Structure formats: structure tokens, C-alpha cells
Amino acid sequence: MKAHKSYRGLPRSKWNQLPSCAIANTLPEILCLSREFFNDERNALQNVLHRSWEVR
């Protein structure tokens, strides 16, 4: 799972610059990462929503 870490925090535009063979080899890690990313985004969104409700 070494490759997994190297993609953390890498902008999507940078992924496009990587060699396609590297992309293919690390696709499972990228999919896993994007799933984590979307979960983080959703959690952040929910936190914001909860906070906005608390303010009211």
C-alpha cells in the first residue's frame, strides 16, 4: 500500500500527468482514495449543515 500514500493530497490534474501504466497499476488505490475523499467531503458538508442548524 506504499503507492496509496503517494496519491494522498495529489490534485486530480496531477493524476492526469502520471504515466498511464502507473495509473492502471494504482487504480484500485485511487478508487479507494476517491471513496475516502468523497466520504470526507460528505462528512464536512454534514458538519457544516449541522452547524448552520445549530445557529438557527
State the pTM of this model: 0.32
What pLDDT sits at residue 25? 63
In tens, the pLDDT along 24-49 reads 666 666 666 667 777 787 788 888 87
Side-chain half-sphere CA neighbours of 54 within 13 A: 6
Q: What are phi and psi of 10, to 5 degrees?
A: -85, 125
What pLDDT sits at residue 16? 58
Report domain extents, the chain.
2-55
